[in-house]
Structures are given as C-alpha cells and as structure tokens.
Amino acid sequence: MGSNKRFSGGIALGIVGIVFSVIFPAAAYGTSVPGIVLSVKKLQKGYRATAALVLNIVAVSLAFVNSVVAIVITARGFFMKRTGEF
C-alpha cells in the first residue's frame, strides 16, 4: 500500500518556479532548487512528492534554457555592434 502523505510545499515552489522561469530565471533558481531539495527529503521520508520533484526539475531546466538564450542574444548583439554588422 502506498503512502497517503502528500507534500504540497514542493508543488507550490514548482509552480512558482515554472512561472518565474519564463519571466525572471534568477527567481526560478531561487524557488526551484530549494523545491528539489525539499522534495527529495520528503520522498525519503515516505511522502508522495514525485510531482513536486518533476515540477521543480522542469522549472530549473526552463530557467537554464531561458538564461542561455538570453546570454546568446546579448553576446550576439554585443559582437555585432563591435564589428559594425547588423
């Protein structure tokens, strides 16, 4: 029989992290990394926290992709401006 104990704190952090991963990735890291840590600890204690863990991993992944895209766009604009290409 499975455990009926649920962990809603990680789900809340995951949802907030997904919203912020599109808008402001730094805030997504600040909410999703603790969400991952808390979810893993709760899973070890027998809580049902798989959905929370997945949400937080997705949020960190989206925030990382958004950060990389922003860096590439910024670097591209910087180097185009220096070389005179547009």
What pLDDT does 85 receive? 60
Provide the residue ranges of all domains of the chain, joining segments of one domain with +: 8-83
pLDDT at 62 over 70: yes
pLDDT at 2 over 60: no
DSSP string, 15-48: HHHHHHHHH-HHHHHHHHHHHHHHHHHHHHTT-B
pLDDT at 57 over 70: yes
What pLDDT does 86 receive? 55
pLDDT at 34 over 70: yes
pLDDT at 1 over 60: no
